[in-house]
Amino acid sequence: MKVLMVGSGGREHALVWKIAQSPKVTKVYCAPGNAGISEQATIVPIKASDLNGLLDFALKEKIDLTVVGPEDPLTRGIVDLFESKGLFIFGANRKAAEIEGSKAFAKEMMKKYFIPTAFYEVFDNRNEAVKYIRKQGAPIVVKADGLAAGKGVIICKTVEEAIQSVDKIMMEKMFGEAGNRVVVEEYLVGEEASYIAFTDGKTILPMASSQDHKAIYDGDQGPNTGGMGAYSPAPVVTDEVHERIIEKVLRPIIYGMGEAGRPYRGVLYAGLMILDGHPKVLEFNARFGDPETQPVLMRMKGDIVPILEACMKGNLSQCKIEWDNRPSTCVVMASKGYPGDYEKGKMIGGLKEVSRMDGVFVFHAGTALKDGQIVTNGGRVLGVTGLGEDIPRAIERTYQAVKKISWDGVQYRTDIGQKALCRL
């Protein structure tokens, strides 16, 4: 079968890498892809936002399965468009993807179906939001309602900082139209975890647990990014916590979406805060996490393609997943200046040396080819991912690889996985 992957980041590279291993697959395309993805798939120069261009390509090439990576085409209805032309595509349709496209909608669904989450209010008026913030005090969290590439959440330690965040989002439009409304919510304490699950709208098939590291600097300091690294499994997700997530979070939201006339098929990501074994939802995403997908897929045994197909056909109950017992760690190497402005075109060294290391794979996120050389082409550039016999050795192996890779202005966190070590 021929598969088209939509997207260009590290998550998409991990999915292409896994899909290409399937005995069912004869050809993989990726639009628009990146320099690393070109080693496993044929690159198609069509942007992920060009839905009609992607549709024309899929029809022309008789693509058997399209897999959507990023949230933007999902919330804009790529699944609905492809299905209207009889094409087979993996992902949430437009109405289901609103679980990520609108934080206000997601909070309303959680409230209706008694899913544990932070207390909140939604505002489309700046002055009303400020009034609420002054009443609630700090710390407090301010979120842009719409999509903001994983950066639309601002944790505010003071009331003044929260008011400034509201002004940046609503008045200065730092996230564009995504900031027409804001969600102001309670600051939750605990330890974060990411929980990703396949679903056909009825059956829930969870992936291995993981933990993302959102802040740019060590010790969870600095502004939020799209994610600076992850590891799997997350020890904070014990067997008991796993059951609570399934029963108190995933089952109610999947049921609720169906009841609301928004049947959810595809992959659902729950960002969680866990305190004393009890999970609360920070956010839902309608797609695979990035960078969590990288370490999780490194541990996934067997063929992913039948699972993707089963989600869309409604027979996921017939599938199961086996996991490698070895933990994995992913360290994101980013451009200087990220998550703000950054330069592109920096030549990357050390990739060939790392490619010879056992148990390590470098997933490309923001890379391009220039005169036969791999250069930086984004904020998050690489996701260096390694397996180890235990978490300490997975971390050690990954950082050994990271230290072999370099370019002018590279930055990365040096503490990915430290929270796991505290639980051993």
Does 30 fall in a domain?
A: yes
Across the chain, which has 424 residues, the per-10-residue mean pLDDT values are 98 98 98 97 98 98 98 97 98 98 96 97 96 96 88 92 96 93 96 97 98 95 93 97 98 98 98 97 96 98 98 97 98 97 97 97 97 96 98 98 98 96 83
pLDDT (0 to 100) of residue 285: 96
Got the DSSP string for 179-246?
GSSEEEEEPP-SEEEEEEEEESSS-EEE---BEE--EEEGGGEEEE-S-SEEEES-TTS-HHHHHHHI
Q: 155, 90 in Cβ contact below 8 A?
A: no
Give the end of a domain, one of 318, 351, 385.
Answer: 318
Residue 336, burial from CB neighbour count under 10 angstroms (0-12, 13-18, 19+) = middle
pLDDT (0 to 100) of residue 232: 98
Closest listed residue to residue 321, CA positions, set 305, 298, 306, 300: 300
Torsion 63-12-145-204 (CA) sign? positive
- The CATH number covering residue 7 comes to 3.40.50.20
pLDDT (0 to 100) of residue 130: 97
CA–centroid distance for 424 within its chain: 26
Give the end of a domain, one of 49, 71, 94.
Answer: 94
* Whether 247 and 313 share a structural domain: yes
* Whether 312 and 415 share a structural domain: no
Which domain covers residue 408, as residue numbers?
Answer: 328-421
Does 186 fall in a domain?
A: no
Give the end of a domain, one of 293, 318, 343.
Answer: 318
* Whether 338 and 312 share a structural domain: no
Does 369 fall in a domain?
A: yes
* Whether 343 and 403 share a structural domain: yes
Rounded to whole angstroms, how far apart are CA atoms 177 and 318? 42
Query: At 284, is the secondary structure helix, strand, or coil?
Result: strand
* Whether 298 and 339 share a structural domain: no
* Whether 346 and 303 share a structural domain: no
The residues, ordered by sequence, that sit 6+ positions from 113 with a Cβ below 8 Å of its Cβ are 252, 253, 255, 256
**Number of domains the chain contains:** 4
Rounded to whole angstroms, how far apart are CA atoms 391 and 126? 45
* Whether 274 and 199 share a structural domain: yes
Name residue, tokens 């791999």.
374
* Whether 308 and 200 share a structural domain: yes
- The CATH number covering residue 162 comes to 3.30.1490.20
Rounded to whole angstroms, how far apart are CA atoms 313 and 64? 14
pLDDT (0 to 100) of residue 281: 97
Q: 205, 309 in Cβ contact below 8 A?
A: no
* Whether 166 and 198 share a structural domain: no
Query: At 138, is the secondary structure helix, strand, or coil?
Result: coil
Does 117 fall in a domain?
A: no
* Whether 340 and 411 share a structural domain: yes
Residue at 142: amino acid letter? V
Does 323 fall in a domain?
A: no
Buried/exposed code over 188-212 (b: 16+ C-beta within 10 A; e: otherwise): bebbbbbbbbbbbbebbbbbbbbbb
CA–centroid distance for 148 within its chain: 13
* Whether 195 and 314 share a structural domain: yes
Does 116 fall in a domain?
A: no
Rounded to whole angstroms, how far apart are CA atoms 66 and 361? 24
Does 50 fall in a domain?
A: yes
Does 147 fall in a domain?
A: yes
pLDDT (0 to 100) of residue 53: 98
The residues, ordered by sequence, that sit 6+ positions from 68 with a Cβ below 8 Å of its Cβ are 6, 7, 74, 78, 79, 89, 90, 91, 287
Name residue, tokens 């990411």.
194
Q: Can you give the C-alpha Rg of the chain in angstroms?
A: 20
**pTM listed for this prediction:** 0.94
- The CATH number covering residue 314 comes to 3.30.470.20
Strands 27-32 and 229-232, bridge-based pairing: unpaired
Rounded to whole angstroms, how far apart are CA atoms 310 and 386? 29
* Whether 134 and 236 share a structural domain: no
